[in-house]
Structure 1
Amino acid sequence: STSAAVMGKVKSLTILYDRAVDNIVPTYTSGEWVSGQIVVEVNAQIEVKALKIHAKGQAYVHWTERHKSGSNSNTRHYSQQIRYFKHKYLLIGADGSEQVTVLPPGRHAYPFSLVLPQTPPLPATFKGAHGNVSYWMTAKLHRPWKIRIKVKEIFTVYDQIDINSPLLLSPRVATDEKTVCCCCCASGPITLSAKIERQGFTSGESIRIFAEIENHSSRKVVPAASIYKTQTFHAGGKKKRSTELVTKLKGEPVLAGRTDSWNGMELKIPPVPPTLMNCSIIQMEYSLMVYLEISSSLNLTLDLPIVIGTIPLHSFSSEATNFNTQYGMNYNSLNDTLPEGPQE
């Protein structure tokens, strides 16, 4: 918890979330109650006009671009904001009233509770290069003829993405071919097809990749697979996109005139934040790329979009893992270290 340390009669103003244990930012999901206490500590008697709390959730995108026209250069700002909710409550005082409440010296705690919107589901907390999804609460103490005292405290929202949904349990297949011309000599086609058994995964799982490679060309090809994370930000009718490599593996070369196959080649997913859902101005999506590196030519690439979820595959042989401990741990450590990103 953060407290506003104040000189004078008010010693501190603090927001204490019930779920904030050991100063870890508390975590909630859509439809849950956020509860806690606002604590006012005073050294001497004070008069209070109002103690107000605000809870807000929003997505915000912003970037700048340099535009040149002739000898002139100017910076253009692109920004977009979506507010998901704004709750306001008075814990002391009444709207429009000038009446004051007297607080004697000591510690005064005022409980609060508010419910997060259930539908549409809230996007998860996210922080990226050009935008973020954030949730926070502010408390403001208003006194007659004094500067107001304000404290702000964030909380985390996570998204329950269940990879056991029928769509995410269905396989994904892709195939393509290309013919590489080699000076004047004819060269046969190179064909690549790939399949994954499902489209939803959780961090730490391995994706089993099935692939068929037919190399009728005169060059060797090298099969490989990568996971990419793409963040897309929308503002002012424009978009800004960044893609980064998450992990990669390389297979054995397939020589000219040969064929080969992958029968469940495993690519392990490292710790990554889940796919960002339910945000219209920021997307963070993942893709499995299966491709052939062809010497002196562009790669032959298949794009298999995947979803990184938070509720793991049901295991019928053993008890399901405890979602909160597994995901809560991952999520809290990720929250601070990873760049932001969401998906629609």
Structure 2
Amino acid sequence: MTHTGKSLDLILVNNQRDGYCPGDVVSGHISLKISEATRVKAINVLLKGYAQVSWMHKRSHCSEERKYLSLSKTLLASTGTQNLILHSGMYKIPFELQLPQSPLVSSFSGKHGHVYYMVQAVLKRPFHENQHVCKDICIINPIDVNMPTLKSPVSKACKKIIGCWIFSSGPISLSVSIDRQGYCNGESIPICALIENCSSRLVVPKAVIYQIQTYTATGKTKIIKQVVASARGNVVPSDCSSRWNGNTLKIPPVIPSILNSDILKVEYLLAVIVQIPGAKDLEVQLPLVISTDGLSSQSFNMSRRSIVDMSLLYPTFTLPDVPEAPPSYAEVVSEEQFKEHRTFSCQPQPDWLLDGPAIAYIQQFRLQPPPSYSEIYPTEH
């Protein structure tokens, strides 16, 4: 007997493309078409789940693998020493496999590793190699964001002095708080922040959500950090302060946090950053745990489909639909500073100053207003 005229297929009846959860039943049937009588030892269905990480470190290869799921069921089998004989025709053999209630690692695909699950049908015949057919499935492990540890407010503060010794200016301080640590896809994070700029420089605050992928193998670690959402605040002039009273940053469709694997983790951070010209940025980082619980069905499906589409393999940047106008001149420079600048620029300058280095001209252009919005985006209103 040959392979000619035999076809094996696997069809999932409740194929949840947006993902199965622990405790769900994976059901379907195996389709077998044969054109002549065939001896069969067994027809099995299996459900497997693995995590694999791999990358090159200098000249060595780092890799690890974990098995997270292994279920099997025999659908047809020979009795004793007699093989089962199937006559020509079309056979549909139904099956059901229930996922365990215990937490599973969510499906994921990243640059240096992935977590994947598959259903496999196996046809065993005497004196022939086994025939296989596989279908990938997506599994989501929901995280309960209503746990007390994730519902508690989180806050942090930091301060920085610009310059050193007699050249130092006043400090720049930043304090940030959010109402909780656990959020769901599609939610907006209300950020409360206070930026106090006692220095002589203009600073710009912004908020960023980072996704951090951590791969571990053979005692080494590989970390990938990428931006999934960001928003920019208004310029904070010298000797001024700015307060965010619940400014929001929306979480885009991303996979939930993966915290229950020892070789692959996916974590999230909310960072509020104060950009300081000519100095290292001032930054506060608050941990986030992102889940798919508590969403509407539409948002839930969107978040699950983002895993199947593999849209997070590379950094994702959130861009505004309409370009934002630059800050107005009044927001950047106070009236007293402008008058002082005009008085300074109108005074005659000695010849020795004009022969000096380029830094002597900085004061002359330091407080020039930015170009008008129409000069940059003439077609936008």
* TM-score between the two structures when normalised by the length of structure 1: 0.85
Alignment-derived partner of residue 239 in structure 1: 221
The answer as to 2:252 corresponding to 1:270 is: yes
Report the Cα distance in structure 1 between the residues aligned to 2:78 and 2:100, rounded to whole angstroms.
Answer: 25
1:60 maps to which of 46, 52, 64? 52
Q: Are 1:9 and 1:46, in contact at CA under 8 Å, matched by a contact in 2?
A: no
How many pairs does the alignment contain?
A: 313
- Aligned CA-pair RMSD: 2.2
Alignment-derived partner of residue 149 in structure 2: 167
Report the Cα distance in structure 1 between the residues aligned to 2:220 and 2:167, rounded to whole angstroms.
Answer: 46
Q: Are 2:18 and 2:301, in contact at CA under 8 Å, matched by a contact in 1?
A: no
Report the Cα distance in structure 2 between the residues aligned to 1:312 and 1:86, rounded to whole angstroms.
Answer: 30
Alignment-derived partner of residue 44 in structure 1: 36
Higher alpha-carbon Rg: 2
1:89 maps to which of 48, 73, 86? 73
Report the Cα distance in structure 1 between the residues aligned to 2:301 and 2:197, rounded to whole angstroms.
Answer: 46
Greater share of strand residues, 1 or 2? Answer: 1
Q: CA deviation at 1:295?
A: 1.0
Which digits, 9 at most, give the CA deviation of each residue in 1:96-132, with x for residues without a partner?
Answer: x54211112222122222222222x101111111111
Report the Cα distance in structure 2 between the residues aligned to 1:93 and 1:287, rounded to whole angstroms.
Answer: 52
| Ranges in structure 1 where 5+ consecutive residues have no aligned partner | 1-5, 67-74, 314-320
Q: Which amino acid aligns with 2:101?
A: Q
Q: Which amino acid aligns with 1:250?
A: R
Give the secondary-structure state (helix, strand or coil) at the position aligned to 1:337: coil
Q: Are 2:253 and 2:302, in contact at CA under 8 Å, matched by a contact in 1?
A: no
Identity of aligned residues (%): 37
The answer as to 2:325 corresponding to 1:330 is: no
Q: Which amino acid aligns with 2:10?
A: I
Report the Cα distance in structure 2 between the residues aligned to 1:279 and 1:139, rounded to whole angstroms.
Answer: 27
Report the Cα distance in structure 2 between the residues aligned to 1:236 and 1:292, rounded to whole angstroms.
Answer: 38
The answer as to 2:22 corresponding to 1:16 is: no
Q: Are 2:40 and 2:78, in contact at CA under 8 Å, matched by a contact in 1?
A: no
**Bigger mean CA deviation after superposition, 251-260 or 281-290:** 251-260
Alignment-derived partner of residue 198 in structure 1: 180
| Ranges in structure 2 where 5+ consecutive residues have no aligned partner | 315-381
Q: Are 1:35 and 1:114, in contact at CA under 8 Å, matched by a contact in 2?
A: yes
Alignment-derived partner of residue 228 in structure 1: 210
C-alpha distance 45-15 of structure 1, shift in aligned 2 (>3 A): same
Q: Are 2:120 and 2:132, in contact at CA under 8 Å, matched by a contact in 1?
A: yes
Matches within 5 A, 1:60-209: 60-66=52-58, 75-93=59-77, 98-119=81-102, 121-181=103-163, 184-209=166-191
Q: Are 1:163 and 1:310, in contact at CA under 8 Å, matched by a contact in 2?
A: no
Q: CA deviation at 1:333?
A: 4.3
Q: Which amino acid aligns with 1:79?
A: S
Greater share of helix residues, 1 or 2? Answer: 2
Q: Which amino acid aligns with 1:83?
A: K
Which digits, 9 at most, give the CA deviation of each residue in 1:301-326, with x for residues without a partner?
Answer: 0001111111127xxxxxxx34xx54
Whose relative contact order is higher, 1 or 2, with alpha carbons under 8 Å and at least 6 apart?
Answer: 1
